[in-house]
Structure 1
Amino acid sequence: MSVDGIGTERNGVGGADEPGWDVDPEDESGVAVVAAVGRQIKAWREAAGMRAGELGVAIGYGEDLVYKVEGGRRIPRPEFLDKVDEVCGAGGKIAAMKQDLAAVRYPKKVRDLAGVEARSVEIAAYVAHGLHGLLQTPGHARALFEARQPPYSQDEVERMVAARVARQAIFERAPAPALSFVQEESSLRRPIGGLLEWRRQLERLLEIGQFRNVTLQVMPTHREAHPGMDGDIDVLKFKDGTAVGRSHGAFNGRRVTDAKQLRILELRYGIIRAEALRPRETLALIEQVLGET
């Protein structure tokens, strides 16, 4: 019996059926890549004169998972490819497919968002509730996903956490984009994930706030109404001079690229920044909250 969860269970042939990631049938490009990789793995297995069950035993995975991967129904984890490469004597050809799968291992909507962020030279973001995804620690993100109702499977949770963390490679880009975040003070004071994770998150914010390309600000709870009360605001600008924006409280929440609409979002964000604490004051507040935990 196989288990498509985080835990492992022994199946009929004695292999551990660790999960890969489910394939989204509506993600046409992802389906095609996973199917192509599966066909290559099957071809190498057959060339090595092995049955699916034998390969499963040799690499420590279940026969059922091998069939799912070869049939393009599961996205194999990187370590799965490494083991198959070694057992089948592929000389790195199967392991090299990790690069192909890296682009489709996360949900399509997250890949699209990460792609837009990766092309941006400037990001401005106000978050009305919680912390922006680029600022979250893995434990903080995991606690949020695990709190959703109806609940995600643990496999879905881990996949989304990995996707959120992968987006944070933007902090390592060169040249570095200009990043501006405004968070509500309440986001600092909610102990998401428990005390230790709360402290870890506050420490991460202090670290990010020191980056020269990052402006981190907090909107104090005692401030009166401001233009972000309707919801989040995001504006991303690109090297060619174009931009895209979105706000839950404007234009029905859809993405906009029209210059007039973008100016409205930038106007609102500018006022929000003016109402928020200055960056140094923000870091001082975060240190204060950390000291109180």
Structure 2
Amino acid sequence: MSVDGERAERAADGADEPGWDVDPENDSAGVVAALGHQLRLWREAAGLRPAEFGAAIGYGENLIYKVESGKRIPRPEFLDKADEALGAGGKIAAMKKDIAEARYPKKVRDLAKLEAQAVELGAYGNHNMHGLLQTEEYARALFETWRPAYSHDEMDRMVAARTARQSIFERSPAPALTFVQEEVTLRRPIGGTMVLRRQLERLLEVGKLRNVEIQVMPTDLDDHAGMDGRIQVLKFADGSAVGRADGRFAGRLVSEPKEIRILELRYGIIRAQALTPRESLAFIEKVRGET
């Protein structure tokens, strides 16, 4: 049997169910349920049974039932095919963005919204590469190290959420982005040597953008203001700011001026202690050559 034939057979018996399971505790589950309800109304208006609709768009009947009942988040191509088959004129396909965001945990969506609004972002990473700097394969390898282990579905969600945030590099006007990374994050071969090499190449690429500065904190430094853990500060066009830090504020978001000043002071000292952006790119290039 051909590959296409095997796929069709799997689709027919419900074994092939592309998409993501809905987390009932996710506050966006209602968005998925609303899509399913609208999809069922469009299908019924077209006079199609679930099996007929599934066959028309190349998916199994079981998946149609799950999507319509709000138990499965469909992939974007499912919505495109459904829109065309049902003659929805773009009304179903228009929900792709909302449905894509429904995959992500609330805290990730909240962070992405803040990053999308920020005019300045400063971040110090002491253990892992900052999420905005990670390649997709590095992010996946990093998540694979976590215990207890993520399921395949959860892994896909987390990687997709992380890479989606990186649209910040394409914004116009471009925000000012600064990152300080510990030397160890450049050397630990998460995912293997080639994954690390491509991650370092990504740093070199991003670090050459005019609105981005990447600095490296050498391991052998004897005075280090970042020993309390990660720091991130985001500033907005209206003059407000939010931040978080692992140590003093236990990773929670803070916005009081006094708290922000503490984070800005600490981050400013960390940047002063680290290698300059030019020295840092040269250092990253050196590590890449050794990898």
TM bucket (normalised to shorter chain) is over 0.9
TM-score calculated relative to the size of structure 1? 0.92
Among 28, 35, 39, which residue is 1:41 paired with? 39
TM-score calculated relative to the size of structure 2? 0.93
Alignment of 1:43-192 (within 5 A): 43-192=41-190
Which segments of structure 1 move beyond 4 Å, counting only runs of 4 or more?
A: 8-12
Q: Residue 15 of structure 1 contacts residue 57 of structure 1 at CA under 8 Å; is this kept in 2?
A: no
User: Partners in 1 of 2:8 and 2:228 — Cα distance?
Assistant: 47
Identity %, equivalent residues: 67
Alignment of 1:244-259 (within 5 A): 244-259=242-257
Question: How many aligned positions are there?
Answer: 285
Instruction: Describe the SS at the equivalent of 2:209.
Output: coil
- The equivalent residue for 1:19 is 18
User: Partners in 2 of 1:252 and 1:91 — Cα distance?
Assistant: 49
- The equivalent residue for 1:221 is 219
User: Partners in 2 of 1:275 and 1:99 — Cα distance?
Assistant: 42
User: Partners in 1 of 2:100 and 2:131 — Cα distance?
Assistant: 20
Q: Which amino acid aligns with 1:160?
A: M
User: Partners in 1 of 2:145 and 2:8 — Cα distance?
Assistant: 26
**12 and 166 in structure 1: CA distance in 2 versus 1, 3 angstrom threshold:** closer
Q: Residue 126 of structure 1 contacts residue 182 of structure 1 at CA under 8 Å; is this kept in 2?
A: yes
1:265 aligns with 2:263: yes
User: Partners in 2 of 1:15 and 1:64 — Cα distance?
Assistant: 5
User: Partners in 2 of 1:132 and 1:237 — Cα distance?
Assistant: 18
User: Partners in 2 of 1:221 and 1:10 — Cα distance?
Assistant: 56
Please provide the CA RMSD for this pair.
1.7
**Cα deviation, residue 87, structure 1:** 2.2
**Cα deviation, residue 15, structure 1:** 5.2
In structure 2, the gaps of 5 or more residues are 1-6
**282 and 9 in structure 1: CA distance in 2 versus 1, 3 angstrom threshold:** farther
Q: Which amino acid aligns with 1:174?
A: S
Q: What are the Cα deviations for residues 251-279 of structure 1, in whole angstroms up to 9, with x where unaligned?
A: 23322111111111111111111110001
In structure 1, the gaps of 5 or more residues are 1-7
User: Partners in 2 of 1:102 and 1:126 — Cα distance?
Assistant: 29
